Amino acid sequence: MAFTQIYINLPVADLEAAKAFYLALGGTLNPQFTDETSAQILLSDLIAVQLMTREQFSGFTKREIANGPIEAINALAAEAKDEVDRLVEAALAAGGTEPRPAQDMGWLYNRAVDDPDGHCWELMSYDPSQMPGAPE
């Protein structure tokens, strides 16, 4: 496969509030790509979220920046159901909101949390071997 990492760029209204939210998810700040207009939060060795003020973000596109309608749902997999709950509770305490109840399908457990700017994240844990129709 040609891809080695994922970088998610998000426009934010309040950079400090956004940083607090993503740090509460267990991310770490990468000072190399952080200044007063942008902050990079590393969620893992392979996943980075680049938070940018709306003004900074607009320098990378000629398109209108969405403000309100949902355009994407990002998902992060955790090791276990209790880790999903712990991360969502930390995100809620850091200014996130939970747009819907948890879903537990037995083989898949997920919860959704919106960051302070409304960017939606699903946190999930799953066991594909328990999925209906999975080979035995």
The DSSP annotation for 40-71 comes to: EEESSSSEEEEEEEHHHHHTT-SSPPP-SS--
β-pairing verdict for 38-42 and 47-53: antiparallel
Instruction: State which amino acid sits at residue 72.
Output: A
Tokens 């850091």 belong to residue: 94
Distance separating alpha carbons of residues 93 and 114, to the nearest angstrom:
12
* pLDDT single digits (tens) 34-71: 999 999 999 999 999 999 999 999 999 999 998 878 88
What are the chain's domains? 6-61+73-130 (3.10.180.10)
- Bridge-based pairing state of the strands 108-114 and 38-42: unpaired
Could you read off the pLDDT of 1-11 as tens digits, one per residue? 688 999 999 99
Mean pLDDT to the nearest integer, 118-124: 96
- DSSP single-letter state for residue 82: H
Q: Assign 14 a pLDDT band (cuts: 50, 70, 90).
A: very high
Beta bridge partners of 114: 97, 120
pTM for the whole thing? 0.89
